[in-house]
Structure 1
Amino acid sequence: MKKREKVSIAIAAYNGEKYIYKQLRSILDQLKDEDEIVISLDPSTDRTEEIIENMNDKRIRVIDGPGKGLIKNFENAIKNTRNDVIFLSDQDDVWETDKVETVLNAINGYDLILHDALITDKNLKVIEDSVFKKRTPALSFKKNVIKNCFMGCCMAFRENLKKDILPFPAKIPMHDQWIGLVALKKGRVRIVSKPLILYRRHGNNESNMNHASIPQMIRWRIDLLNALKERGLV
């Protein structure tokens, strides 16, 4: 029987006191002693750090965030992971109880997993039963440059991708799209249609990309293509 791979969870945290306890609890309940949660904590003005410390769990490792925004914060968390399979997690979602097991089974023979999610309101009431119905997943590199289907909170990837995705280019619009595109070029990507998290939608986590102007979206794609070209991926 194949030995279970060790898991790292990379979290970028900032002023997350409202939801982070429930999020961490839903993850910790699925982890083994050899697994880890790496939290890159940008300088915060609330009780986020205190809440994490009070959980008193040796599997949680908090590191100082760079204070340069979400993308750099995630880069810092990923860089400091140590284990075989790296999961990305936002600070406000809740994981289904079988997420880790399902992903570890699915990733056998693959380099990155993208799974579905339930969309909820801030109180975790389900308002839509699938993210994939809004962002149809595709394994086409070209399609994901034009319209990204990769969501970080629904992704896990192998440690061997770190050397290709890091450091994140300075002008990429989002880290999850970058990771997904690199994985499509450098490895094998698998889509899992089962919802494995409750994706909490509230005012603080709505992406600026959903409200961008057409010129801005064009600029982002040019920057993304330039970054891919610099890494020899296009």
Structure 2
Amino acid sequence: MTVSSVEGKSKMKVSVIIPVYNREEMVINAVSSVLDQSFSNLECIVFDDGSTDASREAVDSISDPRLKVFSGANGGVSSARNRAISKADGEYIALLDSDDTWLPDKLDIQLEYMAENGYEISQTDEAWFRNGKKVKKGKRNRKIEGRIFDNSLQTCLISPSCTVFSREIWDKFGPFDELMPAYEDFDFWINICRYYPIGLIDKELTVRNGGREDQLTSKVLFPDIYRIYALLKLLKKTDLSVSEFEAVSQEIERKLGYFCGGCFKRGRDEYALKVSELVTEIKENPESEPSELLEFLNSDL
């Protein structure tokens, strides 16, 4: 359901999804930044993904009828997001990581922009902080608006904590792939970008906090493998146009080249060759499944 008018946006409910794992000191800031939004027709759904610290207790200390808290066994960020969204009833879904925060007018500005321009999905710009200090974003991470499919194959151009999308988007492209311990958002976004233009509010309305050892991107080995896996899944779709197929295939080869080059530098020539052979097999054999790449990765660790 599209926000059809600026006046109608206030009637649309937004479900804000926050997965949390062992971030008792940061999750309160994330939740508070949601509940303090100038846009009030929202629910904030926090899913505690089997934390072993006091994350659940920290969130439970906040009193607000719009806050809903759930817990489950640890299943990873994809599983936590999926389980949280299954509890949501908003016409729109907004994602927020438990270590990030929003400026107070983030949702108001974003929903108004979507209403005025007819977007089903949009994101804001973001300020980056590392160990408490603001850092400059590189050109490679510059966000762009509109039809960004080709660009999005190269690097993740959409940030979860910046994004709002319609229920229609989720019903078509969800859930997040629970085989992916990280970079699951890259997999989600590239599929959406094939069909939908991405709106951009060119204001730093989201604050991302990095530089910590507990972040998934710092803990996951071989990140290029997960990106290649996502692209292999996309390559298997039967409705790709010729140009889309070529773009995805070329990007797989580019990322594979980077991955193998890194392996060669570290003396892991045999591993690089095995991954290269497996990727080629998955690409060329209709019977081969992209999940075979992750099975090989997990068996080798």
SS in 2 for 1:110: coil
Give the aligned residue type for 1:57.
D
| 198-207 or 51-60, larger mean C-alpha shift | 198-207
SS in 2 for 1:44: coil
Asked if 2 retains the 8 angstrom alpha-carbon contact of 1:79 and 1:166, the reply is no
Q: RMSD of aligned C-alpha atoms?
A: 2.5
Asked if 1 retains the 8 angstrom alpha-carbon contact of 2:27 and 2:55, the reply is yes
Matches within 5 A, 1:136-175: 136-138=142-144, 139-172=147-180, 174-175=183-184
Cα distance, 1:212 vs. partner? 5.5
SS in 1 for 2:141: coil
Out of 102, 105, 128, the residue aligned to residue 98 of structure 1 is 105
Matches of 2:47 and 2:236, distance apart in 1? 27
Matches within 5 A, 1:75-224: 75-108=82-115, 109-123=118-132, 125-128=133-136, 131=137, 133-138=139-144, 139-172=147-180, 174-203=183-212, 204-205=214-215, 207-208=217-218, 213=222, 217=224, 219-224=225-230
Cα distance, 1:122 vs. partner? 3.8
Cα distance, 1:88 vs. partner? 0.5
TM-score of the two chains, using structure 1 as the length reference? 0.85
Give the aligned residue type for 1:23.
A
More helix by share: 2
Identity %: 22
Cα distance, 1:9 vs. partner? 0.4
Matches of 1:96 and 1:132, distance apart in 2? 22
Asked if 2 retains the 8 angstrom alpha-carbon contact of 1:17 and 1:47, the reply is yes
Cα distance, 1:18 vs. partner? 1.1
| 199-208 or 89-98, larger mean C-alpha shift | 199-208
SS in 1 for 2:61: helix
Higher relative contact order (CA 8 A, sep 6+): 1
Give the aligned residue type for 2:52.
T
Cα distance, 1:182 vs. partner? 2.5
Q: Which structure has the greater CA radius of gyration?
A: 2
> Aligned in 2, Cα 1:188/1:55: closer, same or farther, shift over 3 Å?
same
Q: Which runs of 5+ in 2 are unaligned?
A: 1-6, 241-301
Matches of 1:81 and 1:6, distance apart in 2? 10
Q: What number of residue pairs does the alignment pair up?
A: 227
Matches of 1:233 and 1:98, distance apart in 2? 40
Cα distance, 1:96 vs. partner? 0.9
Asked if 2 retains the 8 angstrom alpha-carbon contact of 1:66 and 1:76, the reply is no
Matches of 2:121 and 2:93, distance apart in 1? 9
TM-score of the two chains, using structure 2 as the length reference? 0.67
More strand by share: 1
Cα distance, 1:178 vs. partner? 2.5
Cα distance, 1:132 vs. partner? 6.7
Matches within 5 A, 1:8-47: 8-30=15-37, 34-47=41-54
Q: Runs of 4 or more off by more than 6 Å in structure 1?
A: none
